[in-house]
């Protein structure tokens, strides 16, 4: 046991020297280090992969594959759920290696990271710049499809159609063209989705408390609103009918906010219903253009 402990101690003492020895005499080469990092990446151990890619950059700063290490760090942050850090790292690829073959890919991924970070306008600007400045890139068609989806999220079906039409005219031989055509057809259907009127909901609840909620298909909330407002209205009417003006004013004053809230809440319920319908209508369009996220 004592000999084993001594051997382990000697091994770890000598390990740094082995690492920094001439490459012909060591196991740790550029290829091996990247294989380790890529292995963690493939196993979805994103933060361990980041550590290994950063280690590669420290050990082999003059390597021709440093740009790859930069790119992979950005991808790992993106897949690991840190879009802001991902966008920052991916931007560095273009800034530090503008002539790299990976620059366009990092540009596109930066757009995805920015979009995932809830900065849709900034993401759209990145995708538009990529599509216009490097239209021959394999990532330019995906950038146009991404623009279409961003505009769809903003409930701008016309903008979505424009982006998809530009995709079709600019890339008639693209392997994803049929998916784009299917998405274009779905956008037409999206335009005709049923929508309800917030104003009408408010008017209905103004006439009969809770009726606007029923119009928005929130029947339980409508019934509760009818019961609460009906109780206050009944109490107010009864008090005045019996000459109890003070009690009537008190009951009416307490009930008025509930009545106003019932009108306002009905309009919000319809807005929520409309948004749910739109989100449901967007799902098949996102599915048709899923190649954006490959």
Better-predicted residue by pLDDT, 144 or 251: 144
Mean pLDDT of 120-129: 97
Q: How far is CA 138 from the centre of its chain?
A: 22
Mean pLDDT of 254-278: 91
Which residues, other chains included, contact 25 with Cβ-Cβ below 8 Å and sequence gap of 6+? Answer: 18
First to last CA, the chain: 53
Predicted pLDDT at 21? 47
Which residues, other chains included, contact 247 with Cβ-Cβ below 8 Å and sequence gap of 6+? Answer: 239
Confidence grade of residue 254 (pLDDT, cut at 50, 70, 90): confident
Predicted pLDDT at 129? 97
Q: CA 203, CA 104: separation in Å to the nearest integer? A: 54
Place of tokens 């890919």: 105
Predicted pLDDT at 9? 42
pLDDT at 18 over 60: no
Q: What percent of the chain has pLDDT over 90?
A: 77
Residues counted in the chain: 294
Q: CA 292, CA 177: separation in Å to the nearest integer? A: 12
Predicted pLDDT at 27? 60
pLDDT at 149 over 60: yes
Tokens describing residue 181: 């055509």
CA-to-CA dists, residue 26 to 8, 13, 167, angstroms: 18, 15, 51
pLDDT at 24 over 90: no
Mean pLDDT of 250-278: 90
Output the CA torsion 49→54→56→60 (10° steps): 170
Question: Residues 267-270: contacts with CB within 8 Å, 24+ apart?
Answer: 267/198, 267/199, 267/201, 267/202, 267/212, 268/198, 269/201, 269/212, 269/213, 269/216, 269/218, 269/221, 270/196, 270/197, 270/198, 270/200, 270/201, 270/212, 270/215, 270/216
Q: What tens digit of pLDDT does each residue of 175-195 get?
A: 999 999 999 999 999 999 999
Q: CA 80, CA 83: separation in Å to the nearest integer? A: 8
Predicted pLDDT at 247? 78
Q: What tens digit of pLDDT does each residue of 35-85 get?
A: 999 999 999 999 999 999 999 999 999 999 999 999 999 999 999 999 999
pTM > 0.85? no
For residue 21, the 8-state DSSP code is: S
pLDDT at 138 over 80: yes
pLDDT at 279 over 70: yes
């Amino acid at each position: 046991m004592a000999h084993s402990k001594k051997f382990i101690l000697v091994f770890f003492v000598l390990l740094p020297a082995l690492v920094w020895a001439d490459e012909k005499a060591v196991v740790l080469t550029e290829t091996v280090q990247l294989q380790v990092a890529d292995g963690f990446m493939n196993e979805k151990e994103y933060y361990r992969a980041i550590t290994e890619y950063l280690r590669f950059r420290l050990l082999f700063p003059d390597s021709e594959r440093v740009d790859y290490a930069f790119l992979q760090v950005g991808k790992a942050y993106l897949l690991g759920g840190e879009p802001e850090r991902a966008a920052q790292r991916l931007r560095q690829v273009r800034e530090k290696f503008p002539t790299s073959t990976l620059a366009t890919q990092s540009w596109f991924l930066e757009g995805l990271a920015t979009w995932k970070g809830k900065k849709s306008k900034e993401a759209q600007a990145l995708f538009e710049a990529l599509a216009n400045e490097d239209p021959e890139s394999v990532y330019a068609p995906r950038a146009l499809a991404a623009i279409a989806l961003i505009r769809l999220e903003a409930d701008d079906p016309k903008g979505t159609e424009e982006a998809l039409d530009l995709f079709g005219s600019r890339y008639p031989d693209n392997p994803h063209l049929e998916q784009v055509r299917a998405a274009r057809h779905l956008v037409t259907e999206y335009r005709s989705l049923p929508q309800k009127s917030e104003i009408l909901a408010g008017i209905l609840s103004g006439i009969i408390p809770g009726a606007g909620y029923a119009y928005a298909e929130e029947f339980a909330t409508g019934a509760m609103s009818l019961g609460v407002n009906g109780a206050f209205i009944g109490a107010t009417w009864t008090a005045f009918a019996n000459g109890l003006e003070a009690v009537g004013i008190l009951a009416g004053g307490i009930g008025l906010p509930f009545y106003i809230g019932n009108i306002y809440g009905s309009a919000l319920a319809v807005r929520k219903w409309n948004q749910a319908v739109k989100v449901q209508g967007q799902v098949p369009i996102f599915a048709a253009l899923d190649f954006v996220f490959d």
